[in-house]
Chain A
Amino acid sequence: ETGVTQTPRHLVMGMTNKKSLKCEQHLGHNAMYWYKQSAKKPLELMFVYNFKEQTENNSVPSRFSPECPNSSHLFLHLHTLQPEDSALYLCASSPGTSGGQETQYFGPGTRLLVL
């Protein structure tokens, strides 16, 4: 279906839990992204990595901690989240080599519910 996979697809966690979201891309890309999609709000860019280096952090709270061990994998570590963090978390990838506009390809998302 898609060259970008995300696990788990659904996650329910308490505010004191620690969990991680995983993203893997099979497109040979070098850039990876985390977005947050909440109801009735535009897509919010959280983090961007290019060749494993973080290039963007859009003032995301420290309870979200990204990790990019290589160009194919991206993680989002979660701890002490708040109920308002409940959302669909989308991963995307792009070539990362064009030097111009990067066209992004998305995974199916992880639906997160924080209780």
Chain B
Amino acid sequence: GEDVEQSLFLSVREGDSSVINCTYTDSSSTYLYWYKQEPGAGLQLLTYIFSNMDMKQDQRLTVLLNKKDKHLSLRIADTQTGDSAIYFCAEGTGGFKTIFGAGTRLFVKA
């Protein structure tokens, strides 16, 4: 069945790069998403990548997609304390259905 998996925790020092990884199962996914959730808030769309792309860069964010291995990653350069949050990977399987991972909690140490 459709599934999205990601590690639960990541801890980095302020100023370092963070890399959050995700694997998905549906090879027909058209869009892959990264959402950010801060405490007490909803999910904020950070970025997304079309399935026919390998990489997308948006300021400090770099998304890499390995479609063969069904692997998606989010790299945050120069991580700041304000980046501490839960990051959700999600795959769009068409239409109104989006499958979310359980989220990776990023801790940024000052």
Contact = CB atoms under 8 A, between A and B. Distances in A.
Interface string B75-110: 000000000000010001111111011100000000
A42 B48 contact: no
Contacts of A4: 42
B44 interface: yes
Interface string A77-115: 000000000000010101000001111111111010000
B95 A101 contact: yes
Given A50-B96, A101-B30, A102-B96, A42 B102 contact: yes
Contacts of B44: 2, 106
A102 B98 CA distance: 8
Nearest to B4: A42
A31 B42 contact: no
Nearest to B45: A105
Nearest to A99: B95
Contacts of B97: 45, 56
Contact of A109 (B41, B48, B98): B41
Nearest to A9: B40
A6 B92 CA distance: 24
Nearest to A42: B102
